[in-house]
């Protein structure tokens, strides 16, 4: 359409400027709503880059969840593509590496590690779903993929394109400040409207006698769409059957032996599992604490939703996609392909199902509980919730059928729901950026969290205090005055994998962040025995 043509022409002109004017250009942020045809823009841009005798890198958040996107590139470019990701065997990785090194492959596609492939003469680096946390490596070496890509792009005189339907607050702020060049796609590729969003108050459902996790409206809409041969997606970002187990006699709650966390009941295997260390035990027949009571299973996971759906819609084809159903290599693709090719079907899943999939028959998306991530003690909680819910909702109505999203909530007055209902990212951004400016959160300041872990609680606590005291020596300097150090405290989950965890939180302004990081690294180097996680 006209918007895609405008964006492509602008990107092409920008790359020509980089080459002809010897520009060190800023990255481009492509903000395109779900279904706006961003992939079509990538393909046209890459064809142009190849025609200039250059090569290209395309990064996706998780390779196993975006094979549909990758298959589109493979069908367009065939042998020109090498695919790099962490699931490859050593032999497969070596073969891909040789193809790149010998210049057989001019396009590299993969997760963040693909950025380090031995590709020469790079003309463009495209980071799809650039908002995704998967682009930040939490393991050593720790790095931000976008920062590394920006460095490579400047060295190679390449175009860096960041693309998403839901930019982070910091990314959109950089675009407003001129650090990123902004392009937008405001219309879907098929010229259809974004799906209509209805909000359902689950407290009203409970008062009216509905004890199921699916509201009456959602059940009615599902019945209507399935009868037309369409498909439905149900999203709940919690796996298992129930995550809240309590003895009805003594109140005992089964906890993990290795972590300070309650166990989750998995009905399909009749086990209690820890989702942090994978500890597992057979479900108790009676309470081990009082030897009398039975367990009440409160809270809801994808397994419970699956059972309820199968009872309500016995003739429908039901698929579940979460970590439990995709443990074996290739199961992601198998489930997604089965669902895509099965009319009158329902896909139940966690955040895996919101990763850029394109299902032409999906006309309805149900968000089972929109409140899950909103109340997290993290200033980015609303941003993450908006991103995942808008992305999941965007799976509906991508072809001929109009789409609809039903969001279920127990907090009907949350402003986030209004922004989701109206698909108004800009209003959400304005609200969030104002709050962050007041409290000096990103992008106006930086929060640094150091987590110290040890098998001994006192050692973890004392080590964190020593780090705090060591950093406190800088109080009289200009940096020390710019640095706010909070008291040492236990982490929300105080023990994981038999190690106690204490945290030290620091805040520093943008002007001093580089020096602050160097100072902290120097302090930690002097205290080598302290284990930071």
CATH number at residue 94: 3.40.50.300
Q: Are strands 362-367 and 231-235 parallel, antiparallel or unpaired?
A: parallel
452, 390: one domain: no
Q: Give domain status of residue 41, yes or no.
A: yes
* Cα 417 from Cα 371, distance rounded (Å): 10
Stretch 246-270: mean pLDDT, rounded? 93
Q: What is the pLDDT of residues 360-407, one digit of tens each?
A: 899 999 999 999 888 777 899 999 999 999 999 999 988 888 899 999
37, 137: one domain: yes
Q: Give domain status of residue 267, yes or no.
A: no
Q: How confident is the model at residue 78 (pLDDT cuts 50, 70, 90)?
A: confident
Q: Backbone phi, then psi, for 41, in 5-degree steps?
A: -65, -45
Stretch 200-229: mean pLDDT, rounded? 96
427, 387: one domain: yes
Tell me which of 437, 457, 489 is where a domain ends: 437
180, 215: one domain: no
Q: Evaluate if pTM is beyond 0.85.
A: yes
Tell me which of 370, 403, 437 is where a domain ends: 437
- Cβ atoms 145, 135 nearer than 8 A: yes
* Cα 229 from Cα 432, distance rounded (Å): 40
Q: Give domain status of residue 110, yes or no.
A: yes
Q: Has residue 517 got a pLDDT over 90?
A: no
If DSSP codes are grouped into helix, strand and coil, which group holds residue 438? helix
Q: Give domain status of residue 158, yes or no.
A: yes
Number of compact structural domains in the chain: 3
Q: What is the pLDDT of residues 8-20, one digit of tens each?
A: 999 999 999 888 8
Residue 331 belongs to domain spanning: 196-239+301-437
Q: Give domain status of residue 255, yes or no.
A: no
- Cβ atoms 126, 58 nearer than 8 A: yes
Q: What percent of the chain has pLDDT over 70?
A: 97
204, 324: one domain: yes
- Sole residue written with tokens 């005055």: 481
If DSSP codes are grouped into helix, strand and coil, which group holds residue 356? coil
Q: Give domain status of residue 423, yes or no.
A: yes
Q: Give domain status of residue 503, yes or no.
A: yes
Tell me which of 437, 461, 482 is where a domain ends: 437
Cis amide linkage into residue 142, ω under 30° from 0? no
For the chain, what is the mean pLDDT?
91
460, 413: one domain: no
- Cβ atoms 445, 510 nearer than 8 A: yes
232, 355: one domain: yes
SS3 string, 284-341, reads CCCCCCCCCCCEEEECCCHHHHHHHHHHHCCCCEEEEECCCCCCCCCHHHHHHHHHHC
């Amino acid at each position: 359409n006209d918007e895609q043509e405008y964006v492509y022409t602008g990107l092409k002109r920008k790359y020509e400027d980089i080459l002809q004017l010897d520009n060190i250009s800023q990255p481009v942020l492509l903000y395109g709503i779900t279904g706006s045809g961003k992939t079509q823009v990538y393909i046209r841009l890459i064809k142009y880059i190849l025609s200039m005798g250059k090569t290209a890198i395309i990064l996706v958040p998780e390779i196993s969840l975006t094979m549909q996107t990758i298959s589109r590139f493979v069908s367009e470019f065939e042998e020109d593509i090498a695919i790099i990701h962490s699931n490859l065997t050593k032999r497969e990785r070596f073969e891909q590496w040789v193809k790149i090194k010998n210049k057989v492959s001019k396009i590299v596609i993969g997760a963040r590690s693909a950025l380090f492939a031995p590709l020469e003469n790079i003309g463009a680096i495209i980071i799809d779903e650039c908002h995704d946390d998967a682009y930040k490596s939490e393991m050593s070496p720790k790095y931000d993929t976008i920062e590394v890509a920006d460095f490579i792009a400047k060295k190679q005189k390449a175009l860096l394109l960041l693309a998403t339907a839901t930019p982070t607050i910091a990314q959109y702020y950089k675009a407003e400040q001129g650090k990123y060049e902004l392009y937008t796609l405001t219309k879907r590729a098929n010229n259809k409207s974004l799906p209509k969003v209805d909000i359902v108050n689950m407290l009203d459902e409970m008062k009216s006698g509905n004890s199921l996790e699916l509201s009456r409206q959602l059940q009615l809409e599902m019945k209507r769409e399935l009868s037309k041969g369409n498909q439905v997606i149900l999203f709940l970002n919690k796996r298992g059957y129930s995550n809240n187990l309590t003895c009805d006699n003594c109140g005992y709650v089964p906890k993990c032996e290795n972590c300070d966390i309650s166990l989750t009941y998995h009905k399909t295997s009749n086990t209690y599992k820890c989702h942090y260390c994978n500890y597992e035990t057979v479900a108790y027949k009676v309470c081990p604490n009082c030897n009398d009571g039975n367990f009440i299973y409160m809270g809801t996971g994808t397994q419970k939703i699956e059972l309820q759906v199968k009872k309500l819609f016995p003739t429908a084809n039901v698929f579940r996609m979460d970590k439990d159903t995709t443990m074996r290599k290739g199961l992601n693709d198998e489930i997604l392909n089965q669902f895509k090719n099965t009319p009158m079907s329902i896909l139940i899943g966690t955040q895996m199902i919101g990763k850029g999939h394109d299902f032409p028959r999906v006309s309805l998306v149900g968000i089972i509980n929109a409140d899950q991530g909103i109340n997290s003690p993290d200033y980015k909680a609303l941003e993450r919730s908006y991103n995942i819910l808008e992305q999941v909702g965007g799976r509906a109505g991508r072809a001929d059928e109009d789409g609809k999203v039903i969001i279920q909530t127990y907090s009907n007055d949350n402003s986030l729901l209004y922004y989701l209902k109206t698909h108004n990212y800009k209003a959400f951004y304005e609200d969030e950026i104002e709050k962050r400016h007041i409290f000096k959160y990103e992008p106006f300041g930086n929060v640094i969290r150091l987590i110290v872990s040890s098998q001994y609680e006192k050692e973890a606590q004392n080590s964190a205090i020593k780090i705090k005291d060591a950093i406190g020596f800088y109080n009289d300097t200009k940096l020390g005055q710019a640095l706010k150090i909070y008291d040492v405290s236990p982490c929300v989950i105080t023990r994981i994998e038999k190690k106690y965890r204490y945290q030290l939180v620091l805040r520093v302004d943008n002007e001093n962040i580089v020096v602050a990081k160097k100072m902290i690294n120097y302090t930690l180097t002097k205290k080598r025995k302290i284990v930071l996680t």
